[in-house]
Amino acid sequence: MALWKRAGIYTVDITAPDGSRIRRSTGTTDRTKAKEYHDRLKAELWDLARLKHKPLRSWDEAAVRWLKEKAHKKSYRDDVQRIRWWTGHLRGRTLDQIDRSMIDGLVTKHVHASDRTKDLYVALIRAMFRRAMREWEWIDQVPAFKTYSRGGKIRVRWITEEQAERLLRELPEHQREVVVFALSTGLRQGNVLGLTWDRIQLARRMARIEHGDTKNEEAIGIPLNDLAMAVLQRQRGKHEDYVFTYRGEPLRSANTRAWRKALARSGITNFRWHDLRHTWASWLRQNDVPTWVLQELGGWKSETMVRRYAHLSVKHLQPYADQLIFAPKIGSPGKAQEAAEGDDTKSPTSPPERGLRVVTRNGLRC
């Protein structure tokens, strides 16, 4: 047994089953405890080599490796912030000690926010554990972490054209142009502010968003309507590269104090900058743009994301609703006859024939 003292502390020197040499401090001056540590470490090394047991990994190791491998993520800053929060509660724990009940207890006690925000914190934990199992091979299974907003309503906040006009009047000119362009294209804030002239083809009335700049990682083409084209014409010549600028420099943020004050002065509450995209989509649906067209215009990868706007237009359903031609006779025959002969309001998609009738299965008319 290789057990010796260094500065009064016992140190072990072991040759592992795979031939590697391991030197480790026991952290004690007591030889009996140091010997117990030596025997336990030797047994663990044997289990790892012969029984194929995975070494225990800590939360801190997982956090460092995740941040190194995900440095390219668009939401990297969010990951850093959430991992910093989690580390305050999980530092020093091994991954096998972290389970559903522990995470649920921490979220319930310390995250005083909406269920959607809670899910964002848990989603990061879930993703890290899945990576630890599937790619790093650190663990054998992922705990079934709780989802908080399942079955909840998806937030769709939009404003009317009158509200939009009030807001535009309250905004400074450089931000007004940005908002008008967002309302006419449905682009996200990052795509609008990062738009450069080399991605715009005025002759073809279109703009390109490259695959690395979209949320779903796929490139999309944006058709430019008259409103968007007018904005671009007003911005020409202000900057060599970027479309939207302020005092000669590219705009870095649109969610500013001026934006929030304009919202307050125009009487618009509970409205975020991203809700301009919801407004754009809602207006298009109210003008009977089909959902599949809206999906392609907005660059959504899943139809589920577009279905949230489906209820805003029912014109395509009207002909089917008009197939119901049942007219119950209520009251005396005379009153029913008068009702049938009256000037009823009908759908423009209804048959031109006047009056209502009941058609039975065998073709008899009543």
Active-site residue set: 188, 215, 274, 277, 300, 309
Closest CA to 181 of 221, 234, 246: 234
CA distance linking residue 159 with residue 269, whole number of Å? 10
Q: Which DSSP string corresponds to 76-134?
A: HHHHHHHHHHHHHHHTT-BGGG--HHHHHHHHHHH--S-HHHHHHHHHHHHHHHHHHHH
Given a contact cutoff of 8 angstroms between Cβ atoms, the answer to whether 231 and 174 are in contact is no
Closest CA to 266 of 149, 153, 159: 159
Runs of H (alpha helix) within 18-99: 31-50, 59-69, 76-90
CA distance linking residue 241 with residue 235, whole number of Å? 11
In this structure, the number of other CB atoms found within 10 A of the CB of residue 153 comes to 7
> 67, exposed or middle or buried, with CB in 10 Å at 0-12, 13-18, 19+?
middle
